[in-house]
Structure 1
């Protein structure tokens, strides 16, 4: 997948445990859509935002380092900021957690300026069934690596989805990098 940059080990399994633990420190919010809308036919997940949690600076430093290297060697996009808090998403089988095909660029103040999306796999693939992160950067559909701690970075206009979780629960960490509009 030329337009997708893959990280084999963005975070260690122990670091993934810490990040998932951060999500459990307080109640998770029902996932919405850009501009605060909600449609459970499109997206069913629970969210926690890193900016709302203490002791998460090391996570953002790691993300910034990974994005900087990948952008320098692979994308060469004009990037200016991380304007939104990274989010920990929980997709649970009890409500068939999922997110249908979508891109991450939208009408919101920050969503309109998203250039790159990063998704990190926090769960062990043995802990859930379903829940595949699939990307469509071209005419084909490609499944992201499910190895715990792996991740993908892709242009925010790339279509992607999370298939319904049918057993267990899947956790992921997502963030967006912003910049001037594409030309």
Structure 2
């Protein structure tokens, strides 16, 4: 599934990316497969007090034969970049990945981190975001990492990985639609 011509960039401890890691046909097929799922309202901790903190469409990918290749892609990309840039103790995916669509005028996710509250012994430790849209097909919608001066790569098929405790956001989409797959690798609680 990964493109042999992809290149790896990053900032140790902050973020890493496989630029153009997936080809356009793979991205289109993944997006189409994900669109077959039911839409759920994306939420955040404290959603009632921050109703506009995260706005977009979300679909949860079940752990099933239809999406096992996506789970494997998230594991493979996350583990490869973790060995090179982060060296976190990881176990597996403990929360379903999400297919996200941020649409014109109604798509953004303000500053947040993903270090989850799911299980006492297995927290989300690594975020894996896969850019399915062609970055030229929408305006705004930049994926930004706190303390990094430039947005993350928006080339279609790019895979951005960062420790789940690093703050990041998606700026407002002003035209078009930004689609991404996001998954998390968990591990023992940080000390």
Shorter-chain TM-score bucket reads 0.7 to 0.9
Contact 2:75 2:92 in 1 (8 A): no
Alignment of 1:5-20 (within 5 A): 5-20=16-31
Which residue of structure 1 lines up, in the alignment, with residue 88 of structure 2? 77
Which residue of structure 2 lines up, in the alignment, with residue 166 of structure 1? 174
Moved more, 9-18 or 167-176: 9-18
Deviation track 1:128-160 (CA, whole Å, cap 9, x = no partner) reads 111000001x4x443100000001111111110
Q: Which has the higher helix share?
A: 1
Runs of 4 or more, structure 1, over 3 Å off, are 37-40, 106-110
Which residue of structure 2 lines up, in the alignment, with residue 56 of structure 1? 67
Supply the distance in 1 between the matched residues of 2:182 and 2:55 (Cα, whole angstroms): 15
Contact 1:123 1:171 in 2 (8 A): yes
Q: Please give the secondary structure, in 2, of the residue aligned with 1:91.
A: strand
Alignment of 1:115-154 (within 5 A): 115-136=125-146, 138=147, 140-154=148-162
For normalisation by structure 2, the TM-score amounts to 0.85
Deviation at 1:106, TM superposition (A): 4.0
1:99 aligns with 2:109: yes
CA RMSD of aligned residues (A): 2.2
For normalisation by structure 1, the TM-score amounts to 0.88
Supply the distance in 2 between the matched residues of 1:40 and 1:123 (Cα, whole angstroms): 26
CA 1:60–1:107 in 2, change beyond 3 Å: closer, same or farther?
closer
Where structure 1 has 5 or more consecutive residues not aligned to the other structure, the ranges are none
Supply the distance in 2 between the matched residues of 1:168 and 1:49 (Cα, whole angstroms): 22
Alignment of 1:24-35 (within 5 A): 24-34=35-45
Where structure 2 has 5 or more consecutive residues not aligned to the other structure, the ranges are 1-10
CA 1:106–1:64 in 2, change beyond 3 Å: closer, same or farther?
closer
Contact 2:142 2:170 in 1 (8 A): yes
